[in-house]
Amino acid sequence: MSAVLDVSPTTAPARRPVAAEAVPAKAPAIAIVLLGTGVVGGALLKLLNTPAAASLRLVGAANSRRQQTDPTSLAQRGLREQLNREGAPRDNASLFAALDASGAAAKVIVDATASASLAARHAEWLARGYHVVTANKALAGGDLSGWRALQAALAHGTRYGDSATVGAGLPVLSTLRRLRTCGDALLTLEGVFSGSLSWLFNQYDGSRPFSALLREARQLGYTEPDPRSDLSGEDVARKLLILARNAGFHLGSDEVQVDNLVPAALRTLDVESFLARLEELDAPIASLHAQAQSRQCVLRFLARLNQRGHARVGLVEVPLTHPAARLYGTDNQFALSTTRYNTQPLVIQGPGAGPEVTAQALLGDVLALG
Ligand SMILES: NC(=O)c1ccc[n+]([C@@H]2O[C@H](COP(=O)([O-])OP(=O)(O)OC[C@H]3O[C@@H](n4cnc5c(N)ncnc54)[C@H](OP(=O)(O)O)[C@@H]3O)[C@@H](O)[C@H]2O)c1
């Protein structure tokens, strides 16, 4: 998203802009219910305390176990921690009743979870007149039937804010849609769509075992608690599906070829047992690295879509002149070749993960509804 926000702590008011002691007489322009108060949802709650969010009213918030619709409780800074201790049992109906009661012109459900069961309801919510803003990829990046249900629901005039689902708000989906609106068409797409895999292979030069880097990445919070979620390539595949579908390729989830970096013997272990055997990843990666190095190449975990709609994610060798060979940190990169960007690709690059930028993408999508 391109919204520029001042999130400096010195400008933050003491309280979130919700109805607290006195209920404002005027209905807000935008009312929101937040599902998920984890890393991303927690960062969004902080942004709701900034002047940029002054036109929004939070009327409900929930984690997987509890929820809150009381204005005074919602206004507290410690709402996330409070929900871990107390609150009403989960019940979407009463959250949505709070949205209805707000009288807001735009009623928005923000999904900051990874819940497949919540994602499966997005189309129904849109059809009922709620806008949905999501960091959750499970619907648009899931089964093709879910994607089709989503497109059908959007015919009702409500909107789906999905900037946070790919590149944590880097302007990739918006650019793709804008090109299509202008009659341009995506020919090929290639890039690094995972912040954690970007960091791992930007760092890896054979001098330290891959397992040591993986442990460090986990400690830095770059990987999921179970790093197999990153190493499996499934998350990258979901992002590739979202991009491809938005470009007009109606791919099924089984049509993306995914090269899983986790050896078969480690896939079904519990997390602790897997973490105890990380060294088993070292030899295969070291061997691939040595082969790449002998050809003046480096390893990158790339997502690729070709002109025939063939989609693949996996570890590949790229020459040192390749754009993905010159990435830093947790950068994501998206190289789009289109009918009009056909001599050189249009490249979008930057931090593609992290709670603040992801929450900002959600806020930007919400504000765009005003
Ligand atoms: N972290 C990033 O940098 C990043 C970047 C881009 C996109 N995303 C996406 O953003 C989403 C959230 O990521 P995260 O890192 O914030 O995950 P997280 O820290 O694990 O938080 C997930 C939150 O969802 C809640 N939740 C799960 N099921 C729920 C339900 N049925 N109703 C209400 N709340 C429910 C959890 O509740 P409990 O607290 O009770 O468990 C938790 O608060 C994911 O889809 C992720 O892929 C994350």
Mean pLDDT, consecutive 10-residue stretches, the chain (370 aa), reads: 36 48 70 96 96 96 97 93 94 97 97 96 97 97 97 95 96 97 97 96 96 94 88 96 96 97 96 97 97 98 96 97 94 97 96 92 97
Give the pLDDT of residue 27. Answer: 84
179 CB-near residues (< 8 Å, 6+ apart): 185, 186, 336, 338, 340
The Å distance, Cα 44 to ligand 1 centre, comes to 12
CATH architecture assigned to 9-170+355-367: 3-Layer(aba) Sandwich (3.40)
Instruction: For ligand 1, pick from 1, 44, 64 the residue to mutate: most ligand atoms within 8 Å of CB.
Output: 64
- The residue type found at 346 is L
* CA distances for 166 relative to 119, 174, 184, 193, 357, angstroms: 16, 11, 21, 8, 12
237 CB-near residues (< 8 Å, 6+ apart): 141, 253, 256, 258, 303, 311, 313
Beta carbons within 10 angstroms of residue 98's beta carbon:
21
Query: Six-digit token pair at 183?
Result: 């009659």
Give the pLDDT of residue 94. Answer: 97
Note the helical H segments in the chain.
39-47, 71-74, 79-85, 92-102, 116-119, 122-127, 144-153, 173-181, 195-203, 210-219, 228-231, 234-246, 271-276, 282-294, 355-367
Residues flanking ligand 1, CB < 6 Å: 35-41, 62-65, 112-115, 118, 135-137, 164, 168, 353-355, 358
Give the pLDDT of residue 220. Answer: 86
In CATH, which superfamily holds the domain spanning 175-351?
Dihydrodipicolinate Reductase; domain 2 (3.30.360.10)
CA–CA distance, 367 with 47 (Å, rounded to integer): 12
Q: Are 247 and 286 in contact (CB under 8 A)?
A: no
The Å distance, Cα 113 to ligand 1 centre, comes to 3
Angle between helices 282-294 and 210-219 (to 10 degrees): 110
| Active site members | 239
Backbone phi, psi, residue 316, to 5°: -135, 160
Residue whose token pair is 């897997």: 274
14 CB-near residues (< 8 Å, 6+ apart): 77
CA–CA distance, 184 with 181 (Å, rounded to integer): 7
Q: Where are the domains of the chain?
A: 9-170+355-367, 175-351
Instruction: For ligand 1, pick from 33, 34, 40 the residue to mutate: most ligand atoms within 8 Å of CB.
Output: 40
